[in-house]
Amino acid sequence: MGVDVMDCSSSGISGAATASGNSKRQPGFQVPYAERVRKETAIKTMAVGLITHPVQTEKILKRGQADLIAIAREALVDPMWALHAARELGYDTDFASWPKQSGWWLVARQKTSELYDPDSAG
């Protein structure tokens, strides 16, 4: 049956945050594991470990360090993280990917925001 993707996490909830226990928790601290597994096994990998910003995820993917990114806890903070990320990276500028329940309002909000003049606001 094979393996479709390897989730390259070395823990972090309890105990050592990395296999060696010597690495500091900093943005993308577990990405090197995904990169190494990807290069040495030719298996697609998923990177984890304080990956929170769209530009950060884009760099990891473009550098070939991983095939997928798990945003994990960041999705708890912002359940629409992927939609916000797409906009930040210049995609979906018209809210077309957003659920209809919110997309139509966001388009109207954007038009209103473009009319806002902070100097004339009371």
Sheet bearing 6-8, strands edge to edge: 6-8, 45-47, 68-69
Give the whole-angstrom CA distance, residue 53 versus residue 73: 12
Q: Which tokens go with 102?
A: 């919110």
Q: What pLDDT, on a 0 to 100 scale, did the predictor assign at position 25?
A: 78
Query: pLDDT tens-digit profile of 80-100?
Result: 999 999 999 999 888 888 888
Query: pLDDT tens-digit profile of 30-82?
Result: 999 999 999 999 899 999 989 999 999 999 999 999 999 999 889 999 999 99
Assign 22 a pLDDT band (cuts: 50, 70, 90). Answer: low
